[in-house]
Chains A and B, each alone.
Chain A
């Protein structure tokens, strides 16, 4: 069946599944979804950096870092665009 239901409490997930989830969120963000990356970073931050090391932690760390990078990229792009737009709005006409 379609969905597998399991808890969203990360505590309860086995590590492999955490990794899979992190990875999926990371990959999904490439579909023009910086928000997804943001969620990924926030959600897995504790897992990646605060918790004592476990096997998959390095990989999760890398995904979180990459998501953060992607997020930064998008934020800068959008900010630049909005600034340009706001600035030239009058000239371009609404």
Chain B
């Protein structure tokens, strides 16, 4: 599982130096690591400096608080600090991983649970998405292989094209476009698919390339338990769910709720993919996208790289609608600096979204079937590849070191979080879902996949 942790990229102009200086003085271990990492892969290597930083800052924030007499040998102090820092690094690393572990697990659980309970997902009714026109129920293995390769190619081409489009948009600062697109896509996703999830909608069968969605719903579950869901209640529920979701993700809302929504969206997408992608195609796509992901991020020419760098140059935050952050990041809008307040998981200025969107291509399981809903999470996938573009933690730290700064560095602890692209959620959930759907010893397979992903 690739995790993008809070990035301390050295590029942000005014923030980094003081932040790093401070850190270097106080916590020695984390900084060098952090500095080196960005050089290899700026996109992927954000580390949660926050964690170690925080505690280090707690300790090391001045020998004074420690109560150590100034006469204490500096070497000893340093040594102690180093040891403590290392410990803290470990603890923080683990803590952050766990913070990410939970939502991914949740997403997978939701997906697997749905697959088990609503049997429609495992039924192959021969209908496919418009993006994968080649059927897989063919007579010969060879034919099937060819078809799935073709399907996968189409899908991936679409993904790559979308990515490039987004990169271009981002480069040319068509932020409005990006923002609008993402807004629409999340809107679509929230309403349309949750509606389908809950109800199913027969008339869509004819008008859209989607297969029979009627059974794609919890309605079947409802029928099993002889529970009726009338339209009025359903409408209210869907409306509420959708609107509050939009508010939480794109505007301001409680962190937990935002996380929950992102998980739900990811699960929805994963389910749709599981259902509508023929088997071989799906596995193939997963494999190829993982590979592509690596390439796109590490190669200097890769679109993702471009995005990262552009974003770093412009010192822009990342679009929160597309990424999942385990905590919120707080940037104080100080009088002397004009750093904008930024919420790492909120819809920041469109620029970030662009970058997220552009990062789309590696998203394994979210080709843009309807360009709306899917691309966003897809993008988020990229997002995490990009890592943290804004050194929010750094700025925060810096702020805290300012005399008029907010209080306790300890707060950094909670607030420093890790970010993970939504695409990852989808990818892994889909993987697990597919495994559980198709394997005979399904629980074993599922668990094995699960563990493998975590590792």
Instruction: Check if B233 sits within 8 Å of A5, measured CB to CB.
Output: no
A3 close to chain B: CB less than 8 A = yes
Instruction: Check if B253 sits within 8 Å of A8, measured CB to CB.
Output: yes
Q: What 1/0 mask marks residues of chain A from 30 to 42 whose CB sits below 8 Å from any chain B CB?
A: 0111111001001
B320 close to chain A: CB less than 8 A = yes
A1: chain B residues within 8 A (beta carbon): 175, 349-350
B251: chain A residues within 8 A (beta carbon): 3
B244: chain A residues within 8 A (beta carbon): 33, 35-36, 39
Most chain B C-beta atoms within 10 Å of own C-beta, residue among A3, A5, A9, A28: A5
Answer whether A36 and B247 are a contact pair too, CB < 8 Å, given A5-B341, A81-B232, A86-B228: yes
A51 close to chain B: CB less than 8 A = no
A28: chain B residues within 8 A (beta carbon): 247
Q: Which residue of B lies closest to A11 (CB)?
A: B411
B67 close to chain A: CB less than 8 A = no
A3: chain B residues within 8 A (beta carbon): 250-251, 346-349
User: A53–B79 Cα gap in the complex (Å)?
Assistant: 45
B102 close to chain A: CB less than 8 A = no
Interface of chain A residues 56 through 77 with chain B (CB within 8 A): none
B411: chain A residues within 8 A (beta carbon): 11
Instruction: Check if A35 sits within 8 Å of B415, measured CB to CB.
Output: no
Instruction: Check if B347 sits within 8 Å of A12, measured CB to CB.
Output: no
Interface residue from A7, A42, A94 paired with B330 (Cβ < 8 Å): A7
Answer whether A33 and B346 are a contact pair too, CB < 8 Å, given A39-B254, A39-B257, A82-B233: no
A43 close to chain B: CB less than 8 A = yes
B415: chain A residues within 8 A (beta carbon): 7, 9
B328: chain A residues within 8 A (beta carbon): 7-9
Q: What 1/0 mask marks residues of chain A from 19 to 36 whose CB sits below 8 Å from any chain B CB?
A: 001000000100111111
User: A33–B240 Cα gap in the complex (Å)?
Assistant: 5
Instruction: Check if A85 sits within 8 Å of B346, measured CB to CB.
Output: no
Q: Which residue of B lies closest to A42 (CB)?
A: B254
B236: chain A residues within 8 A (beta carbon): 32, 34, 78
B179 close to chain A: CB less than 8 A = yes
How far, in Å, is B264 (CB) from chain A's closest CB? 14
Q: Which residue of B lies closest to A1 (CB)?
A: B349
Instruction: Check if A6 sits within 8 Å of B240, measured CB to CB.
Output: no
How far, in Å, is A42 (CB) from chain B's closest CB? 8
User: A32–B332 Cα gap in the complex (Å)?
Assistant: 35
User: A94–B226 Cα gap in the complex (Å)?
Assistant: 12
A52: chain B residues within 8 A (beta carbon): none
Answer whether A35 and B320 are a contact pair too, CB < 8 Å, given A5-B340, A5-B342, A5-B346: no
User: A86–B330 Cα gap in the complex (Å)?
Assistant: 48
Answer whether A33 and B345 are a contact pair too, CB < 8 Å, given A81-B233, A86-B228: no
Q: What 1/0 mask marks residues of chain B from 266 to 301 whose CB sits below 8 Å from any chain A CB?
A: 000000000000000000000000000000000000
User: A79–B332 Cα gap in the complex (Å)?
Assistant: 45
Residues of A within 8 A of B (CB): 1-9, 11-12, 21, 28, 31-36, 39, 42-43, 78, 81-82, 85-86, 89, 94
A-B contact pairs, 15 of them (CB 8 A): A3-B251, A5-B320, A5-B342, A7-B328, A7-B415, A8-B253, A9-B255, A32-B240, A35-B240, A42-B254, A78-B233, A82-B230, A82-B233, A85-B230, A85-B233
